[in-house]
Amino acid sequence: MVANPSVIHIPKEPGHQYAMTTLISHNANDATIAPLMIVIKKLPVEFQVVVLKDIYSMSPELKENPVIQTWVNENADKLFG
């Protein structure tokens, strides 16, 4: 997922999509967040919110990461709404 995020396909089943959010949030750090955001943006927006909220809880230092800041600027109404 981190090595080649562009080839990751998102499953259609919501349960599998939720499982991906957990996998992503547990592996997010400064070194992995940029490729993981490529995968996150492929998820339906409600699951993007879930994974970003998990990342905020687990790794609050990532709130300042530029790729997360870009997503927040574009989607703040979904994250904090």
Run of H or E including 22: helix 14-26
pLDDT of residue 46: 94
Residues 6 or more apart whose Cβ sits within 8 Å of residue 75: 45, 48, 49
Under the banding of pLDDT at 50, 70 and 90, the label for residue 79 is low
Q: Please classify residue 70 by burial: count the beta carbons closer than 10 Å to its beta carbon, then call 0-12 exposed, 13-18 middle and 19+ buried.
A: exposed
The predicted-structure confidence for 3-53, as pLDDT tens digits, reads as follows 999 999 999 999 999 999 999 999 999 999 999 999 999 999 999 999 999
Q: What is the mean pLDDT of residues 54-67?
A: 96
Beta-strand ranges (E) seen in 1-81 are none
pLDDT at 80 over 80: no
